[in-house]
Chains A and B, each alone.
Chain A
C-alpha cells in the first residue's frame, strides 16, 4: 500500500463554519459554541482509497479573513487544495467571492480549489440557490457542518481529485 500526504487549507471569512466543517470531518462532531480560530489548527485524517493509496489529509484550519489576501501566506503556501468556505446565510461572505478565488488562482497556481457554501440546514435551498446564481457564485458543494450533509462527500471528492 502506498502512502501519500496532502495539505488542504480551509479558508474564507470569519464565522462561516470552517472549524465546524473541520471538526465534523475529523471527529464527526459539532458544537453550537463559536470560538474564533486564532492562527491555525492542524489535524489529520487518513483515507484509504480504492486504488490502495493511504492518503493522509493534513487539514489546516486557518483563521478567517474578509479578504483572502489578508491571510498569512505561509499558512497557505505548499497547499495541495483549498476549501473556500462561505456562509449561505450571509450574502457579504459570497458577493465578492469571484475576486477571492481569482486571488487564490493567481497566487497559488495549480492548486485545487473547492468552493463550499455552508449552513445549508438554516436556509431555504431554492431561495439560496437563486441568490448564488444572482451573484455568479460557481460553488462546488453546499454543506451543513451541523447535520453533516455533504461534508464527508466534499472531502472524499478532494481526496479523489488529489490522488488521480
Chain B
C-alpha cells in the first residue's frame, strides 16, 4: 500500500465522527437559511410568537393604561366640575325623565293587561266578594291619558275649523298652531314620499299629538299622560263616532257651531 493511501485510510478511520457532525451542521444551516429567506416559511415560525406577544400586550394594556387614564380623567373632572355638570346635567336629566316616562308607560300597559285578566267575566264573581286591588287602580289612574285639546283643521289650507280645550289648558294662538301643524304634517308627508301615508302622532315628552285624518280635514287631539295603544283605540273610536254623528258639511263652514258641537261632545266623554 502506498503511503498516501495509508494516510487516507487513517484519516477516514480517525475523522469519521467529526465529518458526520460537520454534515449535520451544514444541513441545519441550510434549513435555517431556507427558513429565513422564504417569507412563508418564516411566517409559519414567527407568526405564532408575534400573536402570543400581541395577545399578551392586549391583555396587559388595560392593566397598564387604566391607572394612567383614570387618574388623568379624575384630575380633569375634579378641576372642571362645573363644566362637566353643566354638560351632563341636561342630558342625564332628560334621559332619566324619558326613561321613567317610558317605564311608567310599560308598567301601565302591563297593569292594564293584568287588570283585564283580573276583571274578566270569570273573575268577576270572585272579585265581587273578595278584596279589590286598590293599589293597582291608583297606579293606573295616576298617569291616565286625557285629552286636553282638540283641533279640527282643514287639510289643505291649515285653517282652524273648530277647537275644544279643557278650561284649565291654554296655548298660543290656535290659528297659528293649526297652520304650523299643517305645515309640519305636509313637510313630513312630502319629505318621506311614502305614498299616501299620513303623519299620525307627534310626541314631545309627556304630551302626544294624536292626528286622525279625514278627507277634507284632520283632527288633532293633544293628549297628556301615557298614550297607550288601548287609549289610542278609544280615542280613535270617539273621534270617528263624532265625525259620523256630529259633523255635517254645513258645520265645516260654520266655525262657531262646529266648535260648540265639539265642546258638547268631548266634554261629555270620559277621555
Given A72-B190, A75-B186, check contact A42 B160 (CB 8 Å).
no
Q: State whether A3 touches B190 (Cβ < 8 A).
A: no
Given A40-B183, A42-B180, A42-B183, check contact A58 B154 (CB 8 Å).
no
Q: State whether B186 touches A56 (Cβ < 8 A).
A: no
A42 proximity list for chain B (CB < 8 A)? 158, 176, 179-180, 183
Q: State whether B180 touches A79 (Cβ < 8 A).
A: no
Q: Mark B126-159, 1 if CB is under 8 A from A, else 0.
A: 0000000000000000000000000000111111
Q: State whether B173 touches A44 (Cβ < 8 A).
A: yes
Q: Which of B156, B160, B256 contacts A78 (CB 8 A)?
A: B156
Q: State whether B256 touches A3 (Cβ < 8 A).
A: yes
Q: State whether A56 touches B175 (Cβ < 8 A).
A: yes
- B binding-site residues for A, Cβ under 8 Å: 154-160, 173, 175-176, 179-180, 183, 186-187, 189-190, 255-256
A44 (CB) vs chain B CBs: closest residue: B175
Q: Which of B158, B176, B183 contacts A43 (CB 8 A)?
A: B176
Chain B min CB distance to A33 (Å)? 23
Provide 29 A-B residue pairs closer than 8 Å at the C-beta atoms, listed in order of the A residue: A3-B255, A3-B256, A5-B159, A5-B160, A5-B255, A6-B159, A7-B158, A7-B179, A39-B187, A40-B183, A42-B180, A42-B183, A44-B173, A44-B176, A44-B179, A56-B175, A58-B158, A58-B175, A58-B176, A58-B179, A60-B183, A74-B190, A75-B186, A77-B157, A78-B154, A78-B155, A78-B156, A78-B157, A80-B157
B184 (CB) vs chain A CBs: closest residue: A39
Question: Beyond A5-B159, A40-B183, A58-B157: 8 further Cβ-contacts under 8 Å?
Answer: A3-B256, A39-B183, A42-B158, A42-B179, A43-B176, A44-B173, A74-B156, A74-B186
Q: State whether B173 touches A72 (Cβ < 8 A).
A: no
Q: State whether A74 touches B179 (Cβ < 8 A).
A: no
Secondary structure call for the B interface: helix
B154 proximity list for chain A (CB < 8 A)? 78
Kindly name the residue among A39, A40, A42, A43 whose own CB sees the greatest number of chain B CB atoms within 10 A.
A42
A40 proximity list for chain B (CB < 8 A)? 183
Chain A min CB distance to B152 (Å)? 13
B255 proximity list for chain A (CB < 8 A)? 3, 5
**How far apart are the CA atoms of A42 and B157 in the complex, in Å?**
12
Chain A min CB distance to B103 (Å)? 35
B190 proximity list for chain A (CB < 8 A)? 72, 74
**How far apart are the CA atoms of A79 and B190 in the complex, in Å?**
18
Beta-carbon contacts under 8 Å, A88-110 to B: none
Beta-carbon contacts under 8 Å, A5-60 to B: 5-7, 39-40, 42-44, 56, 58, 60
A46 (CB) vs chain B CBs: closest residue: B175
B158 proximity list for chain A (CB < 8 A)? 7, 42, 58, 60, 78
Chain A min CB distance to B214 (Å)? 15
Q: State whether B157 touches A7 (Cβ < 8 A).
A: yes
**How far apart are the CA atoms of A40 and B180 in the complex, in Å?**
9
Chain A min CB distance to B41 (Å)? 66
A60 (CB) vs chain B CBs: closest residue: B179
**How far apart are the CA atoms of A6 and B158 in the complex, in Å?**
10
Chain A min CB distance to B65 (Å)? 46
Kindly name the residue among B159, B160, B187, B255 whose own CB sees the greatest number of chain A CB atoms within 10 A.
B159
B156 proximity list for chain A (CB < 8 A)? 74, 77-78
